[in-house]
Amino acid sequence: MVKSYHIAKTGSDANTGTKENPLLTINAAAKIAKAGDTVIVHEGEYREWVKPYAGGLSNVRRITYQAADGEHVVIKGSERIEK
């Protein structure tokens, strides 16, 4: 069964990843996404290395990571340093 997982800055990695109960990190979705699934990232700045655990099976059945329509998403592998 193909699924969509939602990521939002207001989410929690204990959530199910639905639009109403989004995950907090992209990596949480990367751990559970399977070939054919879509990971939809909502507005915000995400400071994490994204390490997909599974790949796709072909160009048609791959895991797709995308920004939510009309929303600005920034993914940075760097850490913010506070003085």
**Sign of torsion over alpha carbons 12, 14, 17, 20:** negative
pLDDT digits (tens, 9 = 90+) for 8-27: 999 999 999 999 999 999 99
Which residue numbers in the chain have pLDDT < 50? Answer: none
Q: What is the pLDDT of residue 53?
A: 82
Per-residue pLDDT at 61: 81
Q: What is the pLDDT of residue 74?
A: 95
Q: Is residue 17 helix, strand or coil? A: coil
Distance of alpha carbon 45 from the chain centroid: 12
Percentage helix, strand, coil, to 5, in the chain? 10, 25, 65
